[in-house]
Structure 1
Amino acid sequence: MTITQLQYVLAVAEYQNFTLAAEKSFVTQPTLSMQIQKLEDELDILIFDRSKKPIQLTEVGKKIVEQARNIVNESSRIKDIVDQQKGFIGGEFKLGIIPTIMPTLLPMFLKNFINKYPKINLKIEEQNTETLIKKLQEGHIDAAIAATPLEIENIKEKPLYYEPFVAYVPENHRLFSKQKISIDDLDVDDILLLEDGHCFREGVINLCKANKNSKDDNFQLASGSFETMIKLSNEGLGMTLLPYLHTLDLPESEKKHLRFFEEPNPAREVSLIFHKSELKLQIVEALRDVISGVIRGAIAFQNVKIISPIGNKKNTKIPTV
Structure 2
Amino acid sequence: MTITQLQYVLAVAEYQNFTLAAEKSFVTQPTLSMQVQKLEDELDILIFDRSKKPISITEVGKKIVAQAKNIVAEADRIKDIVDQDKGFIGGDFTLGIIPTVMPTLLPMFLSTFIKKYPKVNLIIKEQATDTLIKNIQDGHLDAAIAATPLEVEFIKEKPLYYEPFVGYVPNNHRLTNLKEISTSDLDIADILLLQDGHCFRDGVINLCKSPKDRSDEHFKIESGSFETLVNLSNEGMGMTLLPFLNTLELDKRKKENLRHFKKPSPAREISLIYHKSELKIQITEAIKEVISAVVRGAIAFQDVQIISPLSKN
Mapped pair 1:268 → 2:242: no
Q: Structure 2 matches for 1:42-53, cutoff 5 A? A: 42-53=42-53
Distance in 1, matches of 2:166 and 2:64, equals: 48
Q: 1:67 and 2:64 equivalent?
A: no
**Secondary structure of 1:163's aligned partner:** strand
Deviates more, 1:30-39 or 1:303-312: 303-312
The one-letter code of the counterpart of 1:68 is: A
Q: CA deviation at 1:215?
A: 9.4
Tell me the secondary structure at the aligned position of residue 152 of structure 2. Answer: coil
The 5-angstrom pairing of residues 17-56 of structure 1 reads: 17-56=17-56
Structure 2 alignment gaps of length 5 or more = none
Could you tell me which amino acid in structure 2 is paired with residue 67 of structure 1?
Q
Deviation at 1:47, TM superposition (A): 1.0
Q: Residue 7 and residue 215 in structure 1: after superposition, are their counterparts in 2 closer, same or farther (change >3 A)?
A: closer
Structure 1 runs of 4+ aligned residues shifted over 4 Å read none
Assess if the C-alpha contact under 8 Å between 1:5 and 1:35 holds in 2.
yes
> 2:16, 2:96 → 1: CA distance?
24
State the match for 1:192 in structure 2. Answer: 192
Q: Deviations over 1:67-115 (max 9, x none)?
A: 2111111110000100010010000000000000000000000000000
Alignment partners' CA distance in 2, 1:70 and 1:246: 40
Q: Normalised by the size of structure 1, how large is the TM-score?
A: 0.94
Secondary structure of the corresponding residue to residue 299 of structure 1: coil
Alpha-carbon spacing, 1:301–1:234, altered in 2? closer, same or farther (3 Å): farther
In structure 2, the residue corresponding to 1:278 is in which secondary structure? Answer: coil
CA offsets 1:171-201 (integer angstroms, 9 cap, x no match): 1210111000111111011100000111110
Please give the residue correspondences for 1:107-186 in structure 2 after superposition, counting only pairs within 5 Å.
Answer: 107-186=107-186
Aligned pairs, number: 309
* Aligned equivalents of 1:30, 1:133: Cα separation in 2: 32
Q: Please report how far the alpha carbon of residue 311 of structure 1 lies from its aligned counterpart in structure 2 after TM superposition.
A: 4.8
Deviations 1:116-143 (A, max 9, x none): 0000000001010000100000001100
Match of 2:249, SS state, is coil
In structure 2, the CA distance between the partners of 1:116 and 1:215, relative to structure 1 (3 Å rule), is closer
- 1:217 Cα deviation after fit: 3.4
- Once the two structures are superposed, the pairs formed by residues 87-106 of structure 1 within 5 Å of their partners are 87-106=87-106
Contact 2:230 2:240 in 1 (8 A): yes
Q: Which amino acid aligns with 1:8?
A: Y
CA spacing shift, 1:215–1:134, aligned 2, 3 Å: closer
Q: Is the 8 A contact 2:205 2:212 kept in 1?
A: no
CA contact (8 A) 1:164 1:301 kept: no
Give the equivalent residue in structure 2 for 1:317. none
| Distance of 1:311 and 1:223 partners within structure 2 | 19
1:216 Cα shift? 5.7
Aligned to 2:248: 248
SS in 1 for 2:112: helix
Q: C-alpha distance in 2, partners of 1:24/1:124?
A: 18
Contact 1:6 1:68 in 2 (8 A): yes
SS of equivalent residue, structure 1 residue 298: coil
Matches of residues 197-236 of structure 1 in structure 2 within 5 Å? Answer: 197-209=197-209, 217-218=214-215, 220-236=220-236
Report % sequence identity: 75
* SS of corresponding position for 2:99: coil
- Give the match for residue 57 of structure 1: 57
Contact 1:160 1:271 in 2 (8 A): yes
| Superposition TM-score, scaled by structure 2 size | 0.96
Corresponding residue for residue 5 of structure 2: 5
CA RMSD after TM alignment: 1.4
Q: Contact 2:102 / 2:126 at 8 angstroms: preserved in 1?
A: yes
Letter in 2 for 1:290: V
* 1-structure distance, mates of 2:224, 2:88: 41
Structure 2 CA distance for partners of 1:14 and 1:215, relative to 1, 3 Å: closer
